[in-house]
Amino acid sequence: EAGVAQSPRYKIIEKRQSVAFWCNPISGHATLYWYQQILGQGPKLLIQFQNNGVVDDSQLPKDRFSAERLKGVDSTLKIQPAKLEDSAVYLCASSVGDRGETQYFGPGTRLLVL
Amino acid sequence: GEDVEQSLFLSVREGDSSVINCTYTDSSSTYLYWYKQEPGAGLQLLTYIFSNMDMKQDQRLTVLLNKKDKHLSLRIADTQTGDSAIYFCAAGGGADGLTFGKGTHLIIQP
């Protein structure tokens, strides 16, 4: 079974530029999550989708971050404009979504903002 | 909201048992997880325990849950150099997003 796919794996941009990350969850998983992991910390939930609807985006900085999952499968996370403090690893995870007890994580996108 | 705490470092000798501890604050957390992260890699689910269980064993891994004290531990028997990684404790309620601790760096001494 293929795992959660993410691209790109690495991205370097200058502050005030825009960047987008892509995630393809495990086939059949209804729930998709985006986490931000800053160096030396645990992952922090940014947004959670159930199919194509947002379940929880309470920790998403909505002035600069946006995410969508239009067809209920893959998802994009965008930052516009980026700040230095956005340097982090962005992790995508998915779960079956029925009971959702197991979240499977992708390899992450490592973002460096200069 | 939920808060998860764990110590930052643990050093053990190869062959000994490692015990990584974690505390959480939200008693309504339904599932408690242990993830492993190796340098430059994503998060690997090691094991999880449902909140109505006290113990779960899976090969070299033993998870103990004290729900009264909101304390979770992960014991790794016969620790090997390949176990060197950051171990994250996480708490959640089924399909909800997870709250992670800051991670415990497990250092293996030869």
Q: Distance between CA atoms of B18 and B63, rounded to whole angstroms?
A: 12
Q: What is the pLDDT of residues B73-92, one digit of tens each?
A: 999 999 999 999 999 999 98
Count CB pairs under 8 A between chains A and B.
59
Q: Where are the beta strands (DSSP E) in B17-84?
A: 18-24, 31-37, 43-50, 55-58, 61-66, 71-76
Q: Give me the numbers of helices (H) and strands (E) for chain B, helices first please.
A: 0, 11
**Chain B interface includes A103 (CB < 8 A):** yes
Does the CB of A71 have a partner CB in chain B at under 8 Å? no
Bridge partners for B73 per DSSP: B21, B64
State the pLDDT confidence band at B97, using cuts at 50, 70 and 90.
confident
| Structure tokens given for A9 | 């794996």
Reference A44, options A93, A7, A81; nearest CA is A93
Any residues with CB less than 8 A from the CB of B40 and at least 6 apart, and which?
none
Which chain B positions have a beta carbon within 8 Å of A104's beta carbon?
45
Residues of A in contact with B103 (CB under 8 A): 41-42
How many Å is the Cα radius of gyration of chain A? Answer: 13
β-sheet bridge partners, residue B32? B49, B91
Q: What is the dihedral of CA B37, B53, A56, A96, to 10 degrees?
A: 80
Nearest CB among B30, B43, B92 relative to A105 is that of B43
Query: In chain B, which residues have their Cβ closer than 8 Å to the Cβ of A21?
Result: none
Q: Say how far apart CA A86 and CA A71 lie, in whole Å.
A: 27
Q: Mean pLDDT of all residues in chain B?
A: 92
Q: Is any Cβ of chain B less than 8 angstroms from the Cβ of A44?
A: yes
In degrees, rounded to 5, the angle at the alpha carbon of residue A105 between the alpha carbons of residues B27 and B15 is 80
pLDDT by residue for chain A (114 residues), tens only, comes to 689 999 999 999 999 999 999 999 999 999 999 999 999 899 999 999 998 899 999 999 999 999 999 888 999 999 999 999 999 999 999 988 756 568 899 999 999 999
Residue B73 to residues A11, A61, B6, B47, B69: CA-CA distances in angstroms? Answer: 36, 33, 10, 11, 12
